[in-house]
Structure formats: structure tokens, C-alpha cells
Amino acid sequence: MASDNYRHQLVGVFGDPVDENPTILMFDAAFKAKDLNWRYQNFRVAPEGLADAMRGMRAMNFRGINLTIPHKVEVLQYLDKITPEAATIGAVNTVVRDGDDLIGTNTDGKGFLTSLKFDAKLDPAGKRVVFLGAGGAARAMAVELALAGASHLTIVNRTTQRGEALAQLLNDKTPAQAEFTWWLGDYSVPADTDILVNATNVGLYPGVGDKPGVAMDTIRGGMLVCDVIPNPPRTRFLIEAAAKGARTLDGLGMLVYQGAIAFTIWTGQDAPIVEMKQALTDVFI
């Protein structure tokens, strides 16, 4: 019997909050489907504990880790290398261990783009997109949509510095045009918006009654309204947007597709996407 048969290969996610993160369900299903002796765990790591957590990851021979709120930008300083796309985005959501090196990449944007194309049947080329928020997830998604041909992106954020920085990044590094709008009070969505994305954590469990500050009467039929939150997938924001006649896209697809990319990066195997998606729909749909 091989000497490491009783030792799990460890991966997981560092975040705060993280208790409600359903990623563990789809990775457990993926490892079972592929008969891999791997384990995924949710680790609650406060901002001041990230440095220790990353050192612990090295010491305990983790194969990789995901990063979620609030660590996607802060983690950069603890990595040995980052991929070119992560460098452009300026945020990392997936780390893989390669020998002694920790290498950071970003699968959020690609996961969202895949969900947009396959689940919503929408090509972002030529579209006008509004992002609510300018954190790590927004940066990844906005860059990917800009590179996929979105014509104009509006970054709506309550912190001027972060919002302006993302708009400048998009203007400097992608063919798209971008602008920043200060989020003060309820945001009125421009009538020519094709895609509206909530890239904040407003509405995440347990705050299921919350929704981002948007003037809902400015949401029109024909617009695609997206939410990155996977728990619950049918957020109050999406429910009210649908009532206004908008099409909606929840965060489960993005979660599955970005996780599938991480699975392949970590294990070197094709991800069992059907089983991963089923593990989540069994719980949430």
C-alpha cells in the first residue's frame, strides 16, 4: 500500500465570512467523482490573520487554496509568482503550490464569462456593462468582459480611490472604454445598460434580506441582471429585478465554472462539471 494513502491532499478557501461558502460541496463531489483522496475545507481567516494562514499553508503542504472576501488583493504579497492575467487584474482567487513556490492566478472572470455565454446565452461583445463594486471579483470580471469585447464599462463604487483605479486599469490595459461613478444613495441604472452586475457581497447569507442600493424602477426589461452571490442564488436583488422584466443570472454558474478551472490547475485532471453543478443544485434549487 502506498505510503501516502492515509494522507489527504489538502485544499480549501480562506475568507471572512466563509461559513456560508458552498464551494466545499462541489469540490467534495468532484473529488469523489474522480476518486481522488483530496479534501476541501472552509477556513475562516480574518484580515489580520492572512499572513499566518499563508505560512500555515506552506507548513502543512497544502496543494492549493482559494481566496475570497477580503483576501483577493492582500494575498498578492505572500505569493512567489502570479500569472500574467492575475497581474493585469491585480487580484488572485486561486493559489497552486508548485514545489516550494506558491503561484497565484484568477479564475473568477473566466468563470463569470463562461456562465454568461453558456447559462445566459449572451455574448458580451459590443455590450454596455455596469458593475456594482470594485473589489477583487469585480476586477476579474470586468477585465475578462473588456477583453471579450464589451464596449463600455461603468464602475459604480462607494470608495472613490478603488473605483477610479479599476476604471483606469480597464482604460489602460483593455480595448474597452471605462468610467467611474460614485455610488451615493440609490444608483440609477442608465437606460442603455445591457448587463448589470452586483459584484458586492450585499445579499449574502445571513443578510438575505439585503440588496445593493439601486433604484429598481430604472431596471428595464431586456436587461440582464447578474449577481455573484451563490448563497442564496436567488437573491432579493435578482427577484426584484425579474419582477421588473429583466433577465437574471445567479452566481451558481460562475462558482461552478471558476471552480472547475481551479480543480484542473490543482489536480491536472479535467473537472467533472456535471457532478460539481449537481452538488450545488441539489442544495439550492
Decide if 32 is catalytic: no
Element holding 12 (H helix, E strand): strand 9-15
User: Residue 203's CB: how many other CB atoms inside 10 A?
Assistant: 23
Q: And the C-alpha cell for 242?
A: 425579474
- Does a cis peptide bond (omega within 30 degrees of 0) precede residue 212? no
Given the residues 72, 110, 127, 277, the one annotated as active site? 72
DSSP state of 189: P
Burial class (CB in 10 A: 0-12, 13-18, 19+), 124: buried
Residue bearing cell 448587463:
195
Q: Cα–chain-centroid distance for residue 147?
A: 17
Q: How far apart are CA 43 and CA 18, in angstroms?
A: 7
The edge-to-edge listing of strands for the beta sheet with 94-98 is 38-44, 9-15, 64-67, 94-98, 101-105, 81-82
Residues serving a catalytic function are 72
